A and B are shown apart, each in its own frame.
Chain A
Amino acid sequence: MAAEIKLKPGLYIHIPFCIKKCPYCDFYSTADSRLIPAWLDAVKREILLYREYSSSFSTLYFGGGTPTVINEHAMRELVGFLHENFTFLPGAEKTIEANPNDLSRENLKMLRDLGFNRISLGVQSFDRELLEFLERRHTVYEAEQAIELIREAGFSNLNIDIMYAIPGQTRDKWISTLSRAVSFKPEHVSCYQLTLKEGTPFWNLRKNSTICMPEETDEEAFFLETAKFLKHRGYLHYEVSNFARDMKYVSVHNSLYWKHHPYLGLGPAAHSFFNNTRWWNCKSVKQYLKSFEDGNTPVEGREELTDDQLRLESLFLNFRTTGGMDIESFQTFKRVGTVLPILEKSNLVKIKDGRVVPTTKGLLVADSIPCLFL
């Protein structure tokens, strides 16, 4: 990554449509595809709001929802409009999240033509039963087919999303999903723990004991085995849930979030961060559309971060990545003198090249480490 690219903002577009909502997901999305044309119009109007922004973007990220559910026409129009109004640095990372059974030779070619150079594929599992349990639309075969098609279409930067700590998932099953994933030599793997959020169908199933989540010790074992397995196969564990086959395949866009770099988010529920100010759009598509009809911006909330808040954020963000925090900034926090040696002794952090970095064991408790310095 060139230094210049690092400092340029990223651009995120939220495509809040899913054909079917997964029972564990609490991201905002709607299955009402009739809203797509209106949504597209609104996003275009939002783009115009920021057109004056003169800088170039270092990344483009289409997230969802399921970005691949919008049709070729809408996709071409959106990307075309983006390029008419914004500029991107040469070699900018352009990612689109994809669902395996939305991909075909044709639309992969279109995505290539539109300039996307990275695909993040939501596989979740290579186990038939677990895929069914998760109520995914695709089968194991479709996932494997999709990966082949992606490669065939010439994408040389592929991320595979997979999930552990699913009810009924043994460690053997997880290791075989992991093995299958790496057999395709993806440049990037994201391994997420299934966590239940209030209000989701799975949450309710657990509440009435229909499903049983793994114990804390199992979660720990899943995490540690994942880290070990991927490390052995040459992957770099650079963030709690993210692994790259090489430094150059670290997700540039997601790294912006963790490094407090600027980003602009468009579409319902999208967040933006510029000049120490964060703002976010209203969540639902209908509200989002209505704000434009009413002649307003879709911005629902905004906060200007104080120095203290920025420090606090950088503390917990830094401890989520294996880059950690430079020791000088770290020493401005409370109790560092007494607590740091204890964390080192407990093998939760180590000091490396003038930085305090979490160990693999430390990443397991990355949410708690900052609490010690409050």
Chain B
Amino acid sequence: MEHIRNFSIIAHIDHGKSTLADRLIQHAGLINKREFRDQILDSMDIERERGITIKSQTVTLPYKNDRGEDFELNLIDTPGHVDFSYEVSRALASCEGVLLLIDAAQGVEAQTMANLYAAMEHDLEIIPVINKIDLPAADIERVREEIEIELGLDSDAAILCSAKAGTGIEEVFKAITERIPPPKGTTKKPLSALIFDAQYDSFRGTIISCRVFDGSIRNGDTIRFVSNSATHRVEEVGVFRLKLERRKELSAGEVGYLIAGIKTVSDTSVGDTITLESNPSAVLLPGFKEPKPMVFSSVYPIAADDYLSLAESLDKYKLNDAALVYQKDSSAALGQGFRCGFLGLLHLEIVQERLEREFGQFILMTAPSVKYKFLLKSGEKVTVDNPHYYPDPGEIEKSEEPFVRIAIIIPERYMGAVMQLCMERRGVNSKFNYPTHGRIEINFDLPLAEVIYDFYDRLKTITQGYGSFDYEFLDYRESSLVKVDMLVNHEKVDALSLIVHQNNSRKRALNICERLKEEIPRQMFKIIIQGAIGGNIIARSTINPYRKDVTAKCYGGDITRKRKLLEKQRKGKSRMKMVGAVEIPQKAFISILKTDDS
């Protein structure tokens, strides 16, 4: 156990985390240069395309130090986006130390700090690593100063490297082995292992990623999940070497996988403790933080027949993304579906994309909502995350919405624009810090509803990518809320309803009317789109019908051709939702999730 190290890399987005991980893998000799593909750990398509890490992946790196001692270094990759702090916490709970990666040109950013605090909470050894030192804009001295002042860490302990150029990598390995403590624990105690991730394989069942704290697991053992007392017989254990590599056992301090023929997805929950049926552990490991969904939206299959298949896909998906929560939901316009809770808007988009790409589901999602609280005149208190359950306005005594404290770090020159954005989004209680010369940290209290509504994208745009952003939940505050309904040809599309602040209601309704007008194709009759509060129409747009589409001739040879055209259109319908006689394409529902106002 003396030669095991468990660590993560944490960093602000784009500070080079995946590149460093890849370089460590290459340096450890797991792959040769020819096989080297950038960002090996970001294996999901979406991750590669967006350049962000979403799912944690694990890899065991062999390392021999200069005294000839062999080490096994378990790198547990963590996601870098603010939405995924829960995933980060799961990974950190399995580690003894972290590499805190900081871009030599960008310096300390909002998430650098958030990640640092998370690591401190888990009492981990923190090794600051200054990356990208080969960049012309690198300013190592300034970054050292920030590490001292903003992070309160010893800047002399920082390692300098360039993951891209491959410099300083050996120093990183040295620091991992010398400064991160080996895992504690003993094989003499009964088994206790923490599930920190799981994936579903259609041939082998659930593949569980776990960290063994005490005891050991072997093939043939009967294990028990502490939360539900389910027992399973272990078929295989091993470690991650980019591919799964079989081992005889996993013992205290080690990180690896286990396969136990678990076909029922819901049996496994991330954060659960595994122990042995024959010799159960007396001590339960502290569970992971429960994911706290902040954003809610309903998911519907485009074709009603696909409901069961969607249910099954969500079940499997959940195994791999513990942060997603969901329950059954139904809509008059869209039929049966699920109400889902997400960590944030990016999380929502990723779930949507992964359900489509990996599970082949064609889905619609409704406008995201936060959780509102209402005090009714009867004295009853209700919590609503779905506009469908918005109480009768006449019954409401008081409404409250969640507020978050946001932290934005930007170069000073963007201050005016960012201030304006925060004010537009109903920001209050501002505070400013000047951590280092030329940079400013802005704090605001903001309604969460404003943050999830495209705030991060807007921030990136107005600061030309220089703005870094993080937020934490504050409290519920009284607010003047209304429910806006959208009507398509006078028929309420309940899936498009939303709860908004009164002052924003007209603007939001108009925006949705315009979006729908752009995205719903012209049809053979006039389509009227309206936004309404109660019976009161507050916004409207019209889609004029097309006048003529009929072809002049249809004789012997035309019939087959025409039918084939219709058959093709019928296929295209899998991406349309009918509301009354109006065809609403999936992208119309998606388009209303975004703003384009300034």
Residues of A with Cβ closer than 8 Å to B? 12, 192-193, 195, 216-217, 219-220, 223, 240-241, 254, 257-258, 263, 265, 269-273, 278, 280, 303, 309, 312-313, 316-317, 320, 335, 338-339, 342-343, 346, 348, 363-372, 374
Q: A312, B567: Cβ atoms under 8 Å?
A: yes
Given A342-B580, A365-B524, A368-B524: A313 in contact with B559 (beta carbons within 8 A): yes
The residues of A that contact B552 with a CB separation of less than 8 Å are 192-193, 195, 240-241
| 20 A-B residue pairs with CB within 8 Å | A192-B552, A193-B552, A216-B546, A217-B547, A219-B547, A257-B555, A257-B559, A270-B556, A271-B556, A271-B559, A303-B560, A320-B550, A335-B578, A339-B580, A339-B581, A348-B524, A365-B550, A367-B549, A367-B551, A372-B581
The residues of B that contact A241 with a CB separation of less than 8 Å are 552-553
Q: Which of A278, A317, A364 contacts B549 (CB 8 A)?
A: A364
Q: Which of B547, B551, B567, B581 contacts A342 (CB 8 A)?
A: B581
B511-527: CB near A (< 8 Å → 1, else 0) gives 00000000000011110
Tell me the smallest distance from the CB of B306 to a CB of chain A, in Å: 16
Taken together as a complex, chains A and B put the C-alpha atoms of A313 and B564 apart, in Å, by 10
Q: A195, B551: Cβ atoms under 8 Å?
A: yes
Q: Which of A278, A369, A372 contacts B559 (CB 8 A)?
A: A278
Taken together as a complex, chains A and B put the C-alpha atoms of A279 and B524 apart, in Å, by 33
The residues of A that contact B550 with a CB separation of less than 8 Å are 240, 320, 363-367
Q: A317, B566: Cβ atoms under 8 Å?
A: no
Q: Which of B551, B566, B573, B583 contacts A370 (CB 8 A)?
A: B566
Given A216-B546, A216-B547, A216-B548: A316 in contact with B566 (beta carbons within 8 A): yes
Taken together as a complex, chains A and B put the C-alpha atoms of A316 and B546 apart, in Å, by 18
B549-589: CB near A (< 8 Å → 1, else 0) gives 11111111101101100110110010000101101000000
The residues of B that contact A240 with a CB separation of less than 8 Å are 550, 552, 554
Q: Categorize the interface residue count of chain B.
A: 20 to 34
Q: Which residue of A lies closest to B569 (CB)?
A: A371
Given A342-B581, A365-B524: A219 in contact with B548 (beta carbons within 8 A): yes
Q: Which residue of B lies closest to A363 (CB)?
A: B550
Given A241-B553, A316-B566, A374-B566: A220 in contact with B548 (beta carbons within 8 A): yes
Taken together as a complex, chains A and B put the C-alpha atoms of A263 and B555 apart, in Å, by 11
Tell me the smallest distance from the CB of B501 to a CB of chain A, in Å: 35
The residues of B that contact A365 with a CB separation of less than 8 Å are 524, 546, 548-550
The residues of A that contact B578 with a CB separation of less than 8 Å are 335, 338
Q: Which residue of A lies closest to B550 (CB)?
A: A366
Q: Which residue of A lies closest to B578 (CB)?
A: A335
Tell me the smallest distance from the CB of A305 to a CB of chain B, in Å: 8
Taken together as a complex, chains A and B put the C-alpha atoms of A272 and B557 apart, in Å, by 9
Taken together as a complex, chains A and B put the C-alpha atoms of A280 and B559 apart, in Å, by 12
Q: A343, B581: Cβ atoms under 8 Å?
A: yes
Q: A338, B555: Cβ atoms under 8 Å?
A: no
The residues of B that contact A270 with a CB separation of less than 8 Å are 556-557
- Besides the known contacts A257-B559, A271-B560, 5 further A-B residue pairs in the complex with CB atoms under 8 A apart: A223-B548, A312-B566, A317-B559, A346-B526, A364-B550
Q: B557, A309: Cβ atoms under 8 Å?
A: no
Tell me the smallest distance from the CB of A302 to a CB of chain B, in Å: 10
Q: B557, A271: Cβ atoms under 8 Å?
A: yes
* Interfacial residues of chain B within 475-530, with CB under 8 A of chain A in the complex: 489, 523-526
The residues of A that contact B553 with a CB separation of less than 8 Å are 192, 241
Taken together as a complex, chains A and B put the C-alpha atoms of A372 and B582 apart, in Å, by 9
Tell me the smallest distance from the CB of B416 to a CB of chain A, in Å: 48
The residues of A that contact B524 with a CB separation of less than 8 Å are 346, 348, 365, 368-369
Q: A320, B554: Cβ atoms under 8 Å?
A: yes
Tell me the smallest distance from the CB of B362 to a CB of chain A, in Å: 16
Q: Which of A257, A363, A371 contacts B566 (CB 8 A)?
A: A371
Tell me the smallest distance from the CB of A363 to a CB of chain B, in Å: 6
The residues of B that contact A343 with a CB separation of less than 8 Å are 525, 581
Q: B580, A348: Cβ atoms under 8 Å?
A: no
The residues of A that contact B580 with a CB separation of less than 8 Å are 338-339, 342
Given A195-B552, A270-B556, A338-B580: A368 in contact with B523 (beta carbons within 8 A): yes
Taken together as a complex, chains A and B put the C-alpha atoms of A365 and B161 apart, in Å, by 67
Taken together as a complex, chains A and B put the C-alpha atoms of A273 and B563 apart, in Å, by 14
Q: Which residue of B lies closest to A341 (CB)?
A: B581
Q: Which residue of A lies closest to B573 (CB)?
A: A374
Most buried by B among A220, A258, A269, A367: A367
When A and B form their complex, which 9 residue pairs have the shortest distance between CB atoms, in order from nearest? A220-B547, A271-B556, A346-B525, A365-B524, A374-B570, A342-B581, A192-B552, A339-B581, A366-B550
The residues of A that contact B555 with a CB separation of less than 8 Å are 254, 257
Given A241-B552, A339-B581, A348-B525: A278 in contact with B560 (beta carbons within 8 A): yes
Taken together as a complex, chains A and B put the C-alpha atoms of A291 and B15 apart, in Å, by 70
Most buried by B among A363, A366, A371: A371
Taken together as a complex, chains A and B put the C-alpha atoms of A339 and B573 apart, in Å, by 16
Taken together as a complex, chains A and B put the C-alpha atoms of A312 and B567 apart, in Å, by 9
Q: Which residue of B lies closest to A347 (CB)?
A: B525
Q: Which residue of A lies closest to B570 (CB)?
A: A374
Q: Which residue of A lies closest to B579 (CB)?
A: A338
Q: A313, B563: Cβ atoms under 8 Å?
A: yes
Taken together as a complex, chains A and B put the C-alpha atoms of A189 and B434 apart, in Å, by 84
Taken together as a complex, chains A and B put the C-alpha atoms of A339 and B546 apart, in Å, by 18
The residues of A that contact B551 with a CB separation of less than 8 Å are 195, 367
Taken together as a complex, chains A and B put the C-alpha atoms of A263 and B570 apart, in Å, by 28
The residues of B that contact A254 with a CB separation of less than 8 Å are 555
Taken together as a complex, chains A and B put the C-alpha atoms of A338 and B581 apart, in Å, by 7
The residues of B that contact A12 with a CB separation of less than 8 Å are 556
Tell me the smallest distance from the CB of B596 to a CB of chain A, in Å: 28
Q: Which residue of B lies closest to A320 (CB)?
A: B554
Q: Which residue of B lies closest to A163 (CB)?
A: B552
Taken together as a complex, chains A and B put the C-alpha atoms of A363 and B557 apart, in Å, by 21
Tell me the smallest distance from the CB of A311 to a CB of chain B, in Å: 10
Tell me the smallest distance from the CB of B32 to a CB of chain A, in Å: 53
Q: Which residue of A lies closest to B571 (CB)?
A: A374
Q: Which residue of B lies closest to A256 (CB)?
A: B556
Taken together as a complex, chains A and B put the C-alpha atoms of A223 and B549 apart, in Å, by 11
The residues of B that contact A217 with a CB separation of less than 8 Å are 547
Given A12-B556, A270-B556, A280-B557: A312 in contact with B549 (beta carbons within 8 A): no
The residues of A that contact B583 with a CB separation of less than 8 Å are 372
Q: A269, B570: Cβ atoms under 8 Å?
A: no
Taken together as a complex, chains A and B put the C-alpha atoms of A8 and B16 apart, in Å, by 78
Taken together as a complex, chains A and B put the C-alpha atoms of A271 and B561 apart, in Å, by 12
The residues of A that contact B560 with a CB separation of less than 8 Å are 271, 278, 280, 303
Taken together as a complex, chains A and B put the C-alpha atoms of A235 and B456 apart, in Å, by 65
The residues of B that contact A312 with a CB separation of less than 8 Å are 563, 566-567
Q: Which residue of B lies closest to A217 (CB)?
A: B547
Taken together as a complex, chains A and B put the C-alpha atoms of A106 and B489 apart, in Å, by 63
Taken together as a complex, chains A and B put the C-alpha atoms of A193 and B552 apart, in Å, by 6
Taken together as a complex, chains A and B put the C-alpha atoms of A192 and B555 apart, in Å, by 13
Q: A309, B563: Cβ atoms under 8 Å?
A: yes
Taken together as a complex, chains A and B put the C-alpha atoms of A269 and B553 apart, in Å, by 16
Tell me the smallest distance from the CB of A50 to a CB of chain B, in Å: 16
Taken together as a complex, chains A and B put the C-alpha atoms of A371 and B567 apart, in Å, by 9
The residues of B that contact A303 with a CB separation of less than 8 Å are 560
Taken together as a complex, chains A and B put the C-alpha atoms of A367 and B554 apart, in Å, by 11
Taken together as a complex, chains A and B put the C-alpha atoms of A258 and B525 apart, in Å, by 25
The residues of A that contact B569 with a CB separation of less than 8 Å are 371, 374
Taken together as a complex, chains A and B put the C-alpha atoms of A60 and B228 apart, in Å, by 80
Tell me the smallest distance from the CB of A275 to a CB of chain B, in Å: 16
Taken together as a complex, chains A and B put the C-alpha atoms of A258 and B560 apart, in Å, by 12
Q: Which residue of A lies closest to B525 (CB)?
A: A346
The residues of A that contact B548 with a CB separation of less than 8 Å are 216, 219-220, 223, 364-365
Taken together as a complex, chains A and B put the C-alpha atoms of A347 and B66 apart, in Å, by 87
The residues of B that contact A309 with a CB separation of less than 8 Å are 563, 567
Tell me the smallest distance from the CB of B426 to a CB of chain A, in Å: 40
Q: Which of B526, B549, B559, B562 contacts A368 (CB 8 A)?
A: B549
Taken together as a complex, chains A and B put the C-alpha atoms of A363 and B546 apart, in Å, by 13
Taken together as a complex, chains A and B put the C-alpha atoms of A370 and B566 apart, in Å, by 8
The residues of B that contact A269 with a CB separation of less than 8 Å are 557
